């Protein structure tokens, strides 16, 4: 294709109501006078039957509309009405938009206008979560459509004078077009943050972080603290929330300190790196415990957990809910039932699940969380949600780990950061949480299909997988580290540098922070472009036990 001369270069944009007459006129010239699809009329205007449902993009040169295209999402599509359900013809698991009324004035057809219109309207709907475009392509331009990546499906439709081939194109194919065709698509391929932390942060949360600091003794700080407490309790369906300056590791140390005050045996379950870390917390605190393990990437054996609780007369049960290392979500209802059956207290690590899946802590004693992952704020605030049934301040444990002392001091026994608290409160307030849960679930299912279609295995089985944590096993011969480095250099931040990932040649793509649907839909194409064939040595083992875990635990 040749490019437009500078004197005729225009812009592609969404249409406004002021463009409608020009759209109807171009529609008439193209689909009445040139392609005899409709009957002529004296007004020389053709109003599309779906006009009120169409989203139009137009190409404008010096105030003149020289090209247009529309997209429509309402079902049935016009192709549904002609072929029956088009879903039977399309790749499974896609969310389609129908592209229609693609028209360019004859003198602008030997240019990029055609491709830029298709690319623009595709990217517009891509940003809204659609990832497949379908259209009726005139048989006069099939060679061009195929060159751009369109796939034909189904029989020809229309008439002998106006014959059309149903076609589709995926979002990945549009994003892989040569740069010369994209006209403004760079932002979609510029990368995104899919780390488990630090996560992508929205502009409004960034601005909150940059506001002036306030003393942690000031009433305004305490008012903000209480507001964040309330929002956390609503989100987690919990009775109380206490926040301290620190990481998720601190939150788990606080939980371990409370468990130590029970002076009773308990059970810790593990099916990943962070379950092993719970064992380490208990070991360092010299808490008597029994361990029940399952292979990494597999669900827990709840019958074994129940047996261990019964055989050891356990008075507490501690588990990770969302195992960040593998992407497995452990069954909260099953763990709750086991704890209740044995009159035991349940403690959970919800660091990677609070904010990505709906959950209720109504029957949970203690739960650890953190500000810097799925709550879409900055790291630095350790969160312990609890039922209020905790020990009062105790000299048996370090002051900083004493949850009873923190509660006694209205949650602020020591220095805290007003900036971090303000940013967390802003994030909790700005997010529509039910909508976020739905979006993460939808996007997570889409990402899983996209990876599996490329030969990647997602470690966690679909029936117990977190929608926000995707631990990926590359195809044979692909180095996760080399690929992760290439993606990082291209602006795509995914997790591959943690020791447990390096040992196993795994990658992680996480939907925890702020990201756009468009960036997610662009990621698989970016992965394809960065893929390497570097040979790797298979990992020596699948699920090593930490040395501290081996030293002091018995395995059920």
Output the pLDDT for position 471.
Answer: 97
Please choose, from the candidates 340, 322, 318, 343, the residue with its C-alpha nearest in 3D space to the C-alpha of residue 331: 322
Identify the CA nearest to 82 among candidates 162, 149, 26, 148. Answer: 162
pLDDT of residue 179: 56
Residue in the structure block whose two tokens are 């034909």? 152
- pLDDT tier, 516 (very low <50, low <70, confident <90, very high otherwise): confident
The pair of three-digit structure tokens given for residue 32, joined into one six-digit string: 């009445």
Is CATH 3.90.1150.10 the classification given to domain 433-530? yes
Q: Do 118 and 102 touch, CB atoms closer than 8 A?
A: yes
Q: Mean pLDDT across the stretch 402-430?
A: 94
Residues with Cβ within 8 Å of 216's Cβ and at least 6 positions away in sequence, in order, are: 412, 415, 416, 417, 418
Phi-psi region of 252 (alpha: psi -120 to 50; beta: other; left: phi over 0): alpha
Q: Pick the closest to residue 282 from 12, 551, 3, 10 (CA basis).
A: 551
Q: Residue 423: pLDDT above 90?
A: yes
- Which pairs count as long-range contacts for 91-95, CB under 8 Å and 24+ apart, including other chains? 91/132, 91/168, 91/170, 92/449, 93/445, 93/446, 93/449, 94/131, 94/132, 94/170, 95/129, 95/130, 95/131, 95/132, 95/446
Token pair of 299, please?
């669900």
Expressed in percent and rounded to 5, the helix, strand and coil fractions of the chain are 40, 20, 40
Nearest-angstrom CA–CA distance, 73 and 166: 16
* Higher-pLDDT residue of 230, 173: 230
Q: What are 74-102's pLDDT values in tens digits?
A: 999 999 999 999 999 999 888 999 999 99
Query: Which DSSP category does 247 fall into?
Result: -
Q: Tens of pLDDT along 441-450? A: 999 998 998 8
Cα distances (Å, whole numbers) of residue 234 to 64, 241, 361, 369: 53, 10, 10, 14
**Residue 9: predicted pLDDT:** 66
What CA–CA distances, in Å, run from 284 to 346, 547, 548?
A: 20, 12, 8
Tell me what percent of the residues of the chain surpass a pLDDT of 90: 66
pLDDT digits (tens, 9 = 90+) for 287-300: 999 999 999 999 99
Q: Higher model confidence: residue 477 or residue 154?
A: 154
CATH 3.40.630.30 domain position(s) in the chain: 6-186
pTM for the full model?
A: 0.69
Q: Give ∠ CA 370-376-378 in degrees, rounded to 5.
A: 65
| Average pLDDT estimate for 35-62 | 92
Above 70 in pLDDT, residue 169? Answer: yes
pLDDT of 115-142, one tens digit each?
Answer: 788 878 887 888 788 889 999 988 888 8
Number of neighbours of residue 140 by Cβ within 10 angstroms: 12
Alpha helices in 455-516 (DSSP H): 480-489, 499-504
Q: Are 309 and 317 in contact (CB under 8 A)?
A: yes
User: Using CA atoms, how far apart are residues 88 and 77, in angstroms rounded to an integer?
Assistant: 14
- Cβ distance 46 to 31 under 8 Å? yes
**Please, where in the chain does CATH 3.40.640.10 lie?**
203-431+546-555
**What is residue 182's predicted lDDT score, i.e. its pLDDT?**
52
Going by pLDDT thresholds of 50, 70 and 90, the confidence category of residue 144 is confident
d(CA 254, CA 244): 10
Q: How far apart, in whole angstroms, are the C-alpha atoms of residue 294 and residue 300?
A: 6
CA 350, CA 73: separation in Å to the nearest integer?
37
Write out the two tokens for 90: 């399309």
Cβ 423 vs Cβ 209: under 8 Å: yes
**Architecture in CATH of 6-186:** 3-Layer(aba) Sandwich (3.40)
Residue 335 in this model has a pLDDT that exceeds 90: yes
The band of 540, judged by pLDDT with boundaries at 50, 70 and 90, is: very low
Q: Tell me 316's DSSP state.
A: E
Domain with CATH 3.90.1150.10 in the chain: 433-530
> How high is the pLDDT of residue 111?
66
Mean of all residue pLDDT scores within the chain:
88
Give percent of the chain with pLDDT exceeding 70.
Answer: 91
**What is the arithmetic mean of pLDDT over 32-52?**
92
DSSP one-letter string for 508-536: EEE--S---HHHHHHHHHHHHHH------
- Check residues 524 and 97 and name the one with the higher pLDDT: 97
Q: What is the mean pLDDT of residues 469-486?
A: 91
Is residue 324 pLDDT above 80, yes or no? yes
Query: Which CATH architecture best describes the domain 203-431+546-555?
Result: 3-Layer(aba) Sandwich (3.40)
């Amino acid at each position: 294709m040749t490019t437009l001369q500078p004197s005729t270069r225009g812009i592609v944009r969404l249409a406004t109501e002021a463009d409608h007459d020009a759209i109807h006129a171009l529609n008439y010239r193209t689909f009445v006078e040139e392609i005899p699809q409709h009957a002529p009329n004296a007004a020389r205007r053709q109003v599309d039957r779906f006009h009120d449902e169409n989203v139009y993009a137009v190409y404008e040169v010096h105030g003149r509309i020289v090209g247009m295209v529309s997209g429509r999402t309402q079902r049935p599509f016009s192709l549904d009405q002609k072929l029956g359900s088009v879903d039977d013809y399309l790749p499974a698991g896609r969310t389609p938009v129908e592209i229609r009324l693609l028209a360019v004035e004859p003198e602008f057809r030997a240019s990029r206008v055609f491709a830029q219109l298709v690319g623009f309207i595709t990217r517009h709907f891509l940003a809204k979560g659609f990832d497949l475009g379908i259209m009726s392509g005139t048989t006069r331009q099939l060679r061009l459509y195929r060159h751009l990546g369109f796939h034909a499906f189904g029989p020809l439709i229309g008439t002998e004078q106006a014959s059309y081939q149903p076609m589709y194109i995926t979002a990945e194919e549009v994003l892989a077009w040569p740069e010369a065709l994209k006209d403004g698509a760079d932002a979609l391929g510029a990368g995104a943050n899919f780390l488990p932390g630090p996560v992508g942060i929205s502009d409004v949360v960034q601005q909150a972080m940059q506001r002036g600091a306030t003393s942690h003794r000031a009433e305004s700080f305490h008012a903000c603290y209480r507001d964040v407490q309330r929002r956390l309790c609503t989100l987690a369906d919990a009775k109380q929330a206490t926040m301290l300056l620190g990481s998720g590791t601190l939150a788990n140390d606080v939980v371990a300190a409370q468990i130590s005050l029970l002076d009773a045996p308990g059970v810790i379950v593990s099916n990943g790196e962070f379950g092993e870390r719970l064992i380490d917390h208990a070991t360092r605190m010299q808490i008597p415990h029994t361990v029940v393990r399952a292979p990494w990437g597999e669900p827990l054996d709840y019958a074994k957990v129940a047996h261990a609780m019964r055989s050891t007369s356990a008075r507490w049960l501690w588990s990770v809910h969302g195992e960040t290392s593998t992407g497995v979500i452990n069954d909260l209802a099953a763990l709750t039932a086991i704890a209740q059956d044995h009159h035991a207290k349940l403690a959970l690590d919800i660091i990677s699940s609070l904010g990505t899946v709906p959950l209720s802590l109504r029957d949970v004693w203690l739960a650890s969380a953190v500000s810097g992952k799925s709550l879409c704020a900055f790291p630095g605030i350790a969160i312990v949600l609890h039922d209020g049934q905790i020990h009062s301040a105790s000299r048996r444990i370090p002051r900083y780990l004493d949850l009873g002392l923190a509660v006694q001091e209205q949650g602020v026994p020591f220095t805290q950061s007003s900036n971090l608290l303000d940013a967390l409160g802003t994030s909790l307030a700005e997010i529509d949480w039910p909508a976020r849960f739905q979006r993460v679930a939808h996007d997570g299912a889409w990402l899983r299909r996209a990876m599996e279609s490329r030969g990647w295995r997602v470690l966690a089985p679909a029936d117990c997988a977190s929608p926000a944590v995707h631990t990926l096993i590359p195809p044979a011969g692909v180095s996760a580290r080399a690929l992760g480095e290439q993606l990082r250099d291209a602006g795509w931040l995914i997790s591959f540098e943690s020791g447990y990932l390096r040992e196993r040649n795994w990658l992680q793509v996480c939907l925890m922070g702020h990201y756009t649907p468009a960036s997610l839909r662009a990621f698989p194409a970016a992965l394809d472009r960065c893929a390497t064939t570097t040979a790797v040595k298979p990992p020596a083992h699948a699920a090593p036990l930490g040395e501290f875990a081996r030293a002091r635990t018995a395995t059920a």
